[in-house]
Amino acid sequence: MRPVYKILIFGPSPDAVSGVSTHLNQLFASSLAGFFSLGHFQVGSEGRCENRLQRIARLIFSPCVLIFVLLRLKPQIVHINTSMDKKAYWRDLIYFFIAHLFDLKIVYQKHGGELPQDFFRGNRFLTGLLRWVISTADVVVVLASVELKAYTDFAPKARIRLIPNAIDTATLSILPLISKGNGPLHLVYLGRFAENKGIFTILEAFSVIILTGRSMRLTFAGGGPAETELKTLAATLGISEHVHFAGPLFDSAKDELWKEGHVFIFPTYHREGLPYALLEAMAAGAVPVTTRVAAIPDVMQDEVHGLFVEPKDAQGLAKAIARLDDDRALLARMAEAGRARVLEAYTVDRLARDFQNLYNSLLEKA
């Protein structure tokens, strides 16, 4: 009888609203669960309801809890999901050292953030520590080709693998595309309301468009720290009646938004990994107008699957939107091409196969 190998996957609560939580949920719901025994070790504050004292206690005792879990479950592989920001790096570095002491195979997956060359720029000691961590992990998983090159250049002896994010396309890929060329253009933003996602650039561009007399509507779905400021700017620009704030959307409500949306507006300059909203929009046939950040150029080609604009360029964004409004044939072609692109390379089945092969390759060397 074939042994059942155990994989302990680190990440936030499955109920948290975050890209990493989505990634974890996809792994646990995929065919991987039929080949391995998957366990979850919760890290971070996302999805928790705790006061300051409880948070401090968790940070202090979490390493001890991990040691107990490792002794009880005896996994062969730990899969640490982290990002290249200082808070996540130092928190997860403790777990990395513990897994290393237990002589476990370590999958160290990066979900966006700074590139390693820039992370501790100017500090040789901490840069050396980071290079040691990356080189010591059995494999480092990145989401974008630009990250693959950066990590390979930074730590030539490390084993770096590119495994992009993926989505469940079951409901999105059957949404009708024929309506995408009809009626007033419906622009959609779905994500966190944060300045570095380009949300204020969206409103400025939309204001330019409305002032030219075009008939369009704009929906913001999600939430975040800049929500009040965003609504205030819409009122100041005199476009509130054309802008709808839908709040956070999930499951069928989110699918319905994608069904109605013609264009996904995402002029981000955040250090993204591979945004799930981009993949969802393309699968649904909502044409992206976005920036060349992180893995986005890996997914879409300019004027084939969507349009690229420069960050913080409201006039350029307005011109791109107007172009799609005027050329509905182009809009329809890109909607079809975008869906085909996601179905070809960004499905959960592909993601599960990639990690199954990765885990097996590590177990063969055990």
Which pLDDT score, from 0 to 100, does residue 14 have?
87
Contact 10, 92 (CB under 8 A): yes
Per-residue pLDDT at 179: 61
**Full residue range of the structural domain in which residue 198 is found:** 172-345
Q: Are residues 87 and 225 in the same domain?
A: no
Number of domains in the chain: 2
Q: Is 240 left (phi over 0), alpha (psi -120 to 50) or beta?
A: alpha
**Residues 46 and 107 grouped into a single domain:** yes
Nearest to 172 by CA among 353, 346, 364, 4: 346
- Asked whether residue 144 falls in the same domain as residue 266, the answer is no
CA nearest 197: which of 218, 222, 172?
222
Please, what are the averages of pLDDT over each run of 10 residues along the chain (366 residues)? 84 87 95 96 81 82 95 97 93 96 97 95 96 98 97 98 96 80 88 96 98 95 96 97 95 93 96 94 97 96 98 98 95 96 98 98 87
Residue 115: the pLDDT is 96
Q: CA 295, CA 270: separation in Å to the nearest integer?
A: 12
Q: At what angle do helices 314-326 and 199-211 cross, to 10 degrees?
A: 60
Q: Same domain, yes or no, for 116 and 187?
A: no
How far apart, in whole angstroms, are the C-alpha atoms of residue 242 and residue 208? 13
In the three-class reduction of DSSP (H, G, I as helix; E, B as strand; rest coil), residue 175 is classed as coil
Identify whether residues 220 and 236 lie together within a single domain.
Answer: yes
Same domain, 80 and 124: yes
Residue 270 sits in the same domain as residue 351: no
The reported pLDDT for the residue numbered 161 is 98
Q: Give me Rg for the CA atoms of the chain.
A: 22
Look-up of token digits 């920036």: 291
- CA-to-CA separations, 257 to 27, 45, 280, 358, in angstroms, rounded: 25, 29, 11, 35
Contact 350, 166 (CB under 8 A): yes
CATH number at residue 122: 3.40.50.2000
Cα 236 to Cα 199, 204, 207: the distances in Å are 15, 11, 10
Considering the domain architecture, whether residues 186 and 153 belong to the same structural domain is answered as: no
pTM: 0.93
Do 148 and 207 sit in the same domain of this protein? no
DSSP assignments along 93-159, one per residue: HHHHHHHHHTT-EEEEEEEEES-HHHHTTT-HHHHHHHHHHHHHSSEEEESSHHHHHHHHHH-TTS-
CA geometry: angle 138, 81, 115, nearest 5 deg = 80
Q: Which residues pair with 160 in a beta bridge?
A: 140
87, 132, 154 from 127: Cα distances, Å: 16, 9, 10
| 178 lies in the same domain as 162 | no
Same domain (yes/no): 251, 340: yes
CA distance 308 to 251: 28
The pLDDT score that the predictor gives to residue 39 is: 97
